[in-house]
Amino acid sequence: MRFRAMALAALATALIVPLAQAEDGYRLWLRYTAPASGVAFTPSNIVTGCDDPSPTIRKSLDELDIAFESLTGSKLPRGEAPGQGALVLASAACNDGFAQTDRPDVSGLGQDGYTISTLATGDGDAVLIAGQSDAGLMYGVFDLLMRTSRGEDVRGLSVEEAPSVDLRLLNHWDNLDRHVERGYAGQSIWNWHLLPDFLDRRYEDYARANASIGINGVSLTNVNADATVLTPPYLEKVAALADVFRPYGIKVYLTARFSAPMELDGLPTADPVNEDVQEWWQAKADEIYARIPDFGGFLVKANSEGQPGPQDYGRSHAEGANMLADALEPHGGVVMWRAFVYSAEEPEDRVKQAYTEFKPLDGAFRDNVIVQVKNGPLDFQPREPFHPLFGAMEDTPLALELQVTKEYLGFSTHLAYLGTLWEEVLSADTYVYGQGSTVAKVVDGALTGEPLTAIAGVSNIGSDRNWTGSHFDQANWYAFGRLAWNPEASAERIARDWAALTFSTGPEARDVIVDMMMASREAVVNYMTPLGLTHLMGTGHHYGPAPWVDDLGRADWTPYYYHRATKDAIGFDRTQTGSNAIAQYAEPLRENWSDIATTPDELLLWFHRVPWDHEMKSGRTLWEALVDHYDRGVSQVGELKVHWQSLEGAIDRERLREVSAYLDIQAKEARWWRDASLAYWMSVNGLDLPAGTEPPAHDLGYYKALEFPNAPGQGE
């Protein structure tokens, strides 16, 4: 690892004065503490381009107040006319204060775009933030505030920004009883019982945080859906949240349970071709829009893991999605139809099934349907190849679904910055449209020309004071928003911005934190699922290792199904001699991944079944290399701890202590993953550990006997 650890001597000079406010993480990256280098530019006043600003512009003005009061001790005065040193806010709907010919026009940047530029006034230069929409203007305000908080001087800047993706959504997997499926940050932040009468301040702070990173949609409820949310009392609660979010440019979406017409109104069927069913959904859509005129639409998990769907009636996913799309279409809503499906009968390799099911439906969906595809073909594992549907659906808009909550990467205690995982997926070349056909370019419509584009992230937010269960998991929320806005952004750049806003603008401390973040995901891969192994976690709760499990109700829920380890070999043959899942990828990937010699080590056991004594590119045997990866993962966590400790004095004590304790948990659990995995592999292959390797702390029986009935975040 290439760390720039801080020498203690250097730190002594970098000591920061104790912070006035407890650093409990509540303020996220919106702390607005004065940067180490000082606030470079404090506007003389703020001038809006209109007399009667919209709610969105008023929220932007509020944000400027919060920020400058915190950064400098006082709010900015409001001015009447732009002059030297002023900050001027304008949008297409807020520009009548300008002479007709001077009105800023940023229509070329689209709906959410904005510019930050210099406005020459008779009295000297002002800074102008101009958005096409008021939401665009608000994004510009947040950008200016983030830059200021990081110590940048915004005078003389020439920024032009526009999102590459239209719909940038968080998907909450929150149940109506406030349990969050795969949530590790407490309960759901939606207090359904007290809504709509009590509006927790958190709702607005949540909206501010989302708006600051460009998120413009929120699906409130679990994809394993409860039809109750579609009943009038709950729609009233949903409408109250929508009212809070609206000024921040955020639309509300709901998960639609396909059998809702039967469950809520006793229809005998939910068959999408049945006219009564169609009318039921149309009436439901009318009812929703009467309460929430800008309702975003439905997110649907159908015929997957026991959820009802059109296939219950012999209809296709397209017929189901289109029926809902027709109900939403008159109101401008969309259907986000998930492609996370696999058959209950297990006819083929599970990682092939979504492609098998959806590829033939390419072009069969209505224009307001977008098929939502997880980043990999299995299920949010620490590493997977990209999903082969990206690029394969030429006539269907595809949304990328990422998991912000760390179901498979150590819950909220392990430090695992997901920016690098997502960057790996987004920059992966599908080759479908020739070299450079990255997943990012498929998703943002650059290659497909699809007008509807979307990225969704499964939320990691809960009722914990710090929102995400750990301070470092805030970075994953932040990075998700930034990458949804610009799928080609650099994960390292995002980490740097986040670390400066969240922990320290002191360059030394910031660099230590960034290096920790950049190394963290690979450390997790090393101690959990190295060399292309996957799905080795404990059953149901997914906490900790359980590679020995081979006897669940269905084979493709077991770890054994994925690793297939025997005395001689390990791995899943997905080449032509095996399941031939590689046939779902374009050339030259197909050819490269068919051959062990040209398959990258990190995907080796994903695509191949390999003898334990196979000679790796490094010259070591597979077994030696595997052991080495586990050891490396454990020692990488040790390094994270050392580097974190080097920050003592450079960051606040509260967070220093809490992150230290979490790193201790991570170190313990990394060791557990390594030891349990090695003990199991040795029981299968009968091999000794390479000389000098520390044996597992316990025998295999010990690890197998561990039980975690109360692990957080479990499904039903």
Query: Which residues are annotated as catalytic?
Result: 305, 379, 407
Owner of token pair 């032009």? 160
- Candidates 181, 349, 429, 464; binder of ligand BDP (CB under 6 A) is 181
Comparing CB distances to ligand BDP, the nearer of 246 and 535 is 535
Q: Provide the minimum distance between the beta carbon of 321 and ligand BDP in the complex, in angstroms, as a whole number.
A: 16
Q: What is the 3-state secondary structure (H, E, C) of 569-603?
A: EECCCCCCCCCCHHHHCCCCHHHHHHCHHHCCHHH
Q: How many residues does the chain have?
A: 716
> For residue 592, what are its two tokens?
């490269």
The count of chain residues that interact with ligand BDP, using the rule CB under 6 A, is 10
Is 182 a binder of ligand BDP (CB under 6 A)? yes
Q: Does position 384 bind ligand BDP by CB under 6 A?
A: no
The answer to the question of residue 342 lying near ligand BDP (CB under 6 A) is: no
Cβ 173 to ligand BDP shortest distance, Å? 7
Q: Say if residues 579 and 348 touch (Cβ distance below 8 Å).
A: yes
User: Is 715 a residue that touches ligand BDP (CB under 6 A)?
Assistant: yes
What angle do the packed helices 507-528 and 653-685 form, to 10 degrees?
20
- Three-state DSSP at 281 gives helix
Least separation in angstroms between residue 25's CB and ligand BDP is 26
Q: How far apart are CA 299 and CA 500, in angstroms?
A: 35
C-beta of 298: minimal distance to ligand BDP in Å? 15
Asked if residue 380 binds ligand BDP (CB under 6 A), the reply is yes
Bond into 308 cis (ω within 30): no
Nearer to ligand BDP, 242 or 409 (CB): 409
Give the nearer residue to ligand BDP in terms of CB position, either 171 or 470: 171
Phi, psi for 408 (deg, rounded to 5): -115, 10
Q: Buried b vs exposed e over 119-150: b needs ≥16 C-beta within 10 Å?
A: bebeeebbbbbbbbbbbbbbbbbbbbbbbbbb
**Pairing, β 124-131 against β 114-121:** antiparallel
Of the candidates 408, 424, 447, 371, the one whose C-alpha atom is nearest the C-alpha of residue 545 is 408
CA end-to-end distance (rounded Å), the chain: 40
282-321 binders of ligand BDP (CB under 6 A): 301
Q: Tell me which amino acid residue 412 is.
A: S
Please state the closest distance from residue 392 (CB atom) to ligand BDP, in A.
20
Looking at beta carbons only, is 133 or 303 nearer to ligand BDP? 303
**What is the bridge-based pairing of β-strands 334-338 and 569-570?**
unpaired
Bridge partners, 180 (sequence order): 174
Closer to ligand BDP by CB, 31 or 535: give it. 535
172 binds ligand BDP (CB under 6 A): no
Cα separation, 4 vs 716, whole angstroms: 45
Provide, rounded to whole angstroms, the least separation between the CB of residue 340 and ligand BDP.
Answer: 5
- The H or E element containing residue 477 is helix 474-485
> Which residue is at the shortest CB distance from ligand BDP?
715
From candidates 174, 329, 379, 508, binder to ligand BDP by CB under 6 A: 379
What is the DSSP secondary-structure string of 671-683? HHHHHHHHHHHHH
Nearer to ligand BDP, 301 or 629 (CB): 301
Interface map 401-420 toward ligand BDP (x if CB under 6 A): ------x-------------
Question: Does the protein bind ligand BDP through residue 340 (CB under 6 A)?
Answer: yes
Confirm if 181 and 226 have CB atoms less than 8 A apart.
Answer: no
CB distance 487 to 165 below 8 Å: yes
Q: Give the nearest distance from C-beta 701 to ligand BDP in angstroms.
A: 27
Residue 44 or 224: the one with the smaller Cβ distance to ligand BDP is 224
Nearest distance from residue 315's CB to ligand BDP, in Å? 20
Q: Which is nearer to ligand BDP, 409 or 509 (CB)?
A: 409
What phi and psi, each to the nearest 5 degrees, are found at residue 545?
Answer: -80, 145
Give residues 221-250 in contact with ligand BDP (rule: CB under 6 A).
Answer: 223-224
Contact (Cβ atoms closer than 8 angstroms) between residue 448 and residue 558: no
**448 vs 476 by CB, closer to ligand BDP:** 476
DSSP state of 278: H
Nearest to 122 by CA among 144, 94, 106, 102: 102
Least distance (Å) from ligand BDP to the CB of residue 421? 15
Instruction: Tell me which residues touch ligand BDP (CB under 6 A).
Output: 181-182, 223-224, 301, 340, 379-380, 407, 715
